[in-house]
Chains A and B, each alone.
Chain A
Amino acid sequence: MRRLLLFTLVSGTALADVPPDNAAQCQGAKSGAACTTDDGRPGTCVTQRVGRLDYSEGVPPKAIEVDMLLCVATAPARVTTRSPVLAAGLGLALVAALAGLSVVARGRRPRPVS
């Protein structure tokens, strides 16, 4: 989940609203609503106390607890697998494609910055 949150930061999503694990699914939902946990299990939105740091009065921050709806699993996780070979193959293919395109374009010299 943290990996996803950091990625969305830099790609611009949810930069100002980074929730804890299993919180995004219940954003805007009501307690008891059906949801899917971060690891893909079916669950239910349940109000829970979560800890966070409060910087509103400066540093060092104060540790506080707030109520938040979190998705709590009601069934076992589904097992998913990734293929590292496929990922590496796609990466190498992309590098090769880019290099090939650039070699074709190599002879054309651009105008320098004025």
Chain B
Amino acid sequence: MARGPFSDGLLAPLDAARSAALRRAGPWLGPFFADRDRRVLWLGLSSVAVAFVATGAAPLWLLLLGPLLLGVPHLLSDVRYLVVRPGLHRDGWLMVGLGAPLLAVTLGANPAVGVLAAVPAVLSAPRSRRRAPALAVAGALAVAAWANADGFQLIFVHAHNLVALALWFFLRSRPASHAWVPLAALAGSGLALAGALDPLVTRFGGWSAPATGLDFGELVVSHADGLEPTLAARAVLSFCFLQSVHYAVWLRLIPEDARPRRAPRPFAASWRALVHDFGAPALAAVAALAVGLAAWGLLAPGPARDGYLRLATFHGYLELAVAARWLSQGRLA
């Protein structure tokens, strides 16, 4: 990929600054970051820790700013590593089979339609003895979604954050120590549900943040309807925490693991790889979308967040479809 004014003009100085910082911090950080396996482990654990503390300190701000600032980039990463890098986009029929239900569910179709995106994802993979079980799982989920759309969506909105962790974990063969990352995420979710974050949220006044336009009472109805009120608030905290981990997975862990180069990659090289994957026009459109969403968020945070969430509906079902495909290929084992 050719160099350009963006990579040479803006990113080259950033790379120089990062190199200088790494040289200075080398004696301390080197052992943790020089090796990819170790780097990914520490990035994962520190992401989980930061997400946990941030959830305790300012959950409503995290629920607002996470989608507005990281939402679009994480969708781009989602499509990049689930569709573009594996080359699924080269299969036109598969794109139609995947895209139609994903578009339909984004436009408001029953969630069962979104789940059915798993069918073409599985059937287009090389035939294997795991195909039938993968289709059976997808079918069972579709039936469950059709029978009880509300309940399914309520569970799915929480569970899809964990699907991303599973996709990351099974992206490649990795040391057993990496299992600490999903275990830490599960532990953090469990602690939030058990009330461990309550004192922290109270200490930082996080139960209320009028400037965000978000309200815990309303979030409880939308994210944890039917639960006992205190447990429901903790479920919202758990969602907030896992959503932050979800963003970290797509924006840090998966890109680290998916690139051929094991050493940290310069920003300029990462940019050129991104341009190679999507092309400049598509990236310009995504950048405009991200900037537009952030600007909208400055003017009307609540509606902007709603708008993003409406747009992002497809990605949870895309993750589910690819997870089913990997299940059929024996990668989730």
Question: Which residues of A come within 8 Å of B, CB atoms?
Answer: 2-3, 5-7, 9-18, 52-61, 91, 94-95, 98-99, 101-106, 108-114
- Interface membership of chain B positions 193-221, coded 1 if the CB is closer than 8 angstroms to chain A and 0 otherwise: 00100100110000110000111111111
Check if B119 sits within 8 Å of A99, measured CB to CB: yes
Q: List the count of A-B residue pairs having beta carbons below 8 Å apart.
A: 169
Chain A residues near B108 (CB-CB < 8 A): 7, 11
Q: Is B116 an interface residue (CB 8 A)?
A: yes
Which residues in B have their C-beta under 8 angstroms from that of A12? 306-313
Q: Assuming A53-B217, A56-B208, A99-B119, is B310 touching A11 (CB within 8 A)?
A: yes
Q: Which of A6, A17, A52, A59 contacts B225, CB < 8 Å?
A: A6
Closest A residue, CB atoms, query B153: A10
- A2→B291 CA distance, assembly (Å): 34
B contacts, CB < 8 Å to A? 81, 85-88, 90-94, 96-97, 100-101, 105-106, 108, 111-113, 116, 119-127, 146, 149-150, 153-154, 156-157, 171-172, 195, 198, 201-202, 207-208, 213-223, 225, 229-230, 233-234, 258-260, 302, 305-313
Q: Chain B binding site: helix, strand, loop or mixed by DSSP?
A: helix
In the complex, chain B residues whose CB is within 8 Å of the CB of A104 = 93
CA separation between A59 and B306, bound complex, in Å?
26
Nearest residue in A to B234 (C-beta to C-beta)? Answer: A59
A98 and B154 in contact (CB under 8 A), knowing A56-B216, A91-B146, A113-B171? no
Neighbouring A residues of B87 by C-beta, 8 Å = 110-111
Cα–Cα, bound, A90→B10 (Å): 52
A15 in contact with B150 given A101-B120, A102-B94, A110-B86 (CB within 8 Å): no
